Amino acid sequence: MSIAKNKLAKKIVPYLYVLPIIILSGLFLYYCIGSTAYTSLYEWNGINDEIKFIGLENYKNLFEDKVFYISLFNTLIFFVFTVGIQAMLGLLLAVLLRAKLRGHTLFKSIFFMPVVMAPIIIASIFRIMMDYNLGNLNVMLRALHLDFLAVSWLGDPKYSLMSVIIVNVFEWMGFSMVMYYSGLLALPDDVFESAKIDGAGFFNTLFKITIPMLKGTTSTLIVLGIVGSLKTFDIVVMLTGGGPGRSTEFITTFLYKRTIEEYKAGSGAAIGIIILIIAFVMSIIQIKFYESSQKDM
């Protein structure tokens, strides 16, 4: 009898361990996702109880809306450039820091500081710095007789998206640096010593040893970058508001405008579900890609 009880207990205990997180994620995650999906099937202004079932019409209207595609495109460009540039700069910094030059601890803290600052503060500061007439950036460029580089960073559609990307890279580069730094510390030293003995220089070591061995970290950063890009809202609103025109309209600012400014909560919910599906699919693709590349190795 007691053996049977023990067996039963052993089966139940693991479930009891995960029960708290299931309850929490069920309530705050899956219930909310379900509720959003439900709302996306209705025409609702988000305020009163007049709610009308319209099926998939919100989705149909979105797929016929040019602004939806513009916002997706801008978000994709943002993702590609921010993840790429952040990864490159983060890796470079991590490799330099690993060399443990004088002051490396201080520099590590300095590079990581923007990660812990509130995005609103970073965006507010950059908004002032990037002003065409009075911002420090253009004032400095003009002082160096580089007037041709003093553009309207936030007010010209040619440069506005790039400016948002620059601010985001500044904010999150330190995170990539720390991830790569941790990855580098976990790599065996004898591999690098052997490479050195064989005469491999800095760039050969970097491209043929370091980067391939940090594939896992890169994959993680890409997945986080996908999710982060699809969530980016605060810096866009603070810097450009989605403009000029639609040049920095992101899928998140589009969702906000639909739901809050246009009082179309049903349509906003549909955008939310689409964001979720995109994040899910892209993450799966990235993980599968990484796993298959691991198998090849």
Partner 1 sequence: MGLSRFKKAACVILTAAVLAGLLAGCGKQAAEGDVQSNGSKTDDTEEAQKTITYWTWVPTDSQWKLCYDAFQKKYPNIKVEFWRGEKPDYDKKLQVAMAAGQGPDVLGMQVGAMLKQYEKNLEPIKPLADSKWGSGWESKLSEAATKQTLASDGTLVALPINFTAQEFVIYNKTLFDEAGIKDVPKTYDEWLDVNKKLTAKGIIPVAFGGKDGWHCDDLFIALSNQFGPGKVYEAEAGKLSWTDKTFVDTMGAIKKLFDNVFQKGALGVATYPDARDQYFYSRKAAMFPTGTWHVSFTVAPSGEKFGTKIENDETGMFILPKIGPYDPVAIAGVDTAIAINKDSKNKDAAWELFSFMAMDEGQQIMAETVQGSPSRKGITVSLDSVKFQSEKDAINAANKIVAESKYKRQLDYPELSDALGVAVQDVAAGKPIDKALEELQKVSEKIKR
Residues that bind partner 1 (CB under 8 A): 6, 9, 13, 16-17, 19-20, 23-24, 27, 45-48, 50, 66, 127-128, 130-134, 152-157, 160, 240-241, 243-247, 257, 260-263, 265
Residue 105 CA to residue 237 CA, distance in Å, equals 34
CB of 172 to partner 1, least distance (A): 23
The 8-class DSSP code of residue 1 comes to -
Q: Which is nearer to partner 1, 20 or 201 (CB)?
A: 20
Residue 125 CA to residue 115 CA, distance in Å, equals 15
Q: What is the largest CA-CA distance in the chain?
A: 89
Q: Which is nearer to partner 1, 218 or 240 (CB)?
A: 240
Expressed in angstroms, the distance from the first to the final Cα of the chain is: 50
Q: Provide the b/e sequence for 45-54 (b: ≥16 CB within 10 Å).
A: ebeeeeeeeb
Q: From the CA atom positions of the chain, what is the Rg in Å?
A: 24
CB of 134 to partner 1, least distance (A): 6
CB of 27 to partner 1, least distance (A): 7
Q: Which is nearer to partner 1, 1 or 197 (CB)?
A: 1
Q: Which is nearer to partner 1, 17 or 203 (CB)?
A: 17
Residue 72 CA to residue 37 CA, distance in Å, equals 20
CB of 296 to partner 1, least distance (A): 41
Close Cβ partners of 269 (under 8 Å, ≥ 6 residues apart): 36, 37, 39, 40, 58, 259
CB of 46 to partner 1, least distance (A): 5
Q: Which is nearer to partner 1, 18 or 88 (CB)?
A: 18
